[in-house]
Amino acid sequence: MTNDKKLKLGLFDFTDCEGCQVELVGLKEKLLALSERVDIVNWRLGQAKAQWEQFDIALIEGTPLTPGEIDLLKIIREKSRLLVGLGTCATLGGIPAILDKEERQQWYNKIYGPEYEGRGVDALPLSAYVKIDFLIHGCPISGNEAARIFSDLINGKKLNYKDYSVCFECKLANLPCRLLEKKPCLGPIAQGACGAICLKGGSACYGCFGIKEGANVGALLTILNKFASEEEIENYFSMFHNKSKLYDHR
């Protein structure tokens, strides 16, 4: 394959912790294999080369929090054939979206004093501003799942999520069901393929891979309401889904 036939890929980040890019770097050989097959023309964190021509694929990590970032996102959209969200900040609003503008102002006052005027807007999923072609969820993304999606992408396969919830990998790991132990968990309605990593670490699932298509959120709420307070349930749903439109439980 000649160089000019390679797909041109740009990787950009807005407000976030950059943990998803760290996961990408952690792909090591697979990342090298990917860089052989695509031309990474812009990646601030990974290389000096930063071109602003057309992109076949733009990966966006994080979510815009300033008007400048929103404009930049729109510019990238115009220049890109495929726009793919990378990580839950980009795909659902994620952690930055836990805080509302008003709440953020209170923290500004506390930290920087009342004179400081924040420019930040509410953190929203990228889809609030531009058309998105695919979402690679995860806080952080799972390197292996992302590699699978990249592979499908460059090999011309239709992009798809795995048709299982977090429960599949949780059961394979032989973990006890939190819900049966009367502890909150979003596993059954959450998109799987994360490897049930949080459950393996002793935590609940907060659904950072997004709510699975067709999930029965109402059924889960019925169960949660049996043993958890409304506030606790709200905490679980607002961890990553405060601003995503994927659920409506209020």
Residue 244 engages another protein in binding (rule: CB under 8 A): no
* Residue of 40, 220, 239, 246 interacting with another protein (CB under 8 A): 220
Give the nearer residue to another protein in terms of CB position, either 129 or 168.
Answer: 168
Q: Find the part of the chain contacting another protein (CB under 8 A) among 41-49, 83-91, 124-132, 179-187.
A: 179-187
Residues 23-82 touching another protein, rule: CB under 8 A, are 30, 33-34, 36-37
Q: How far is the CB of 159 from another protein (least distance, A)?
A: 13
Q: Which of 52, 107, 116, 164 binds another protein (CB under 8 A)?
A: 164
Please report how close the Cβ of residue 181 comes to another protein at its closest, in angstroms: 10
Binding another protein (rule: CB under 8 A), the pick from 179, 194, 205, 239 is 179
Q: How many CA atoms lie within 13 A of 35 on its CB side?
A: 15
Site string for another protein, 74-113 (x = CB under 8 A): ----------------------------------------
Q: By CB under 8 A, is residue 222 in contact with another protein?
A: yes
Q: Interface with another protein by CB under 8 A: which residues? A: 30, 33-34, 36-37, 147-148, 150-152, 154-155, 157, 163-165, 167-168, 171-172, 174, 177, 179-180, 187-189, 212-216, 218-220, 222-223
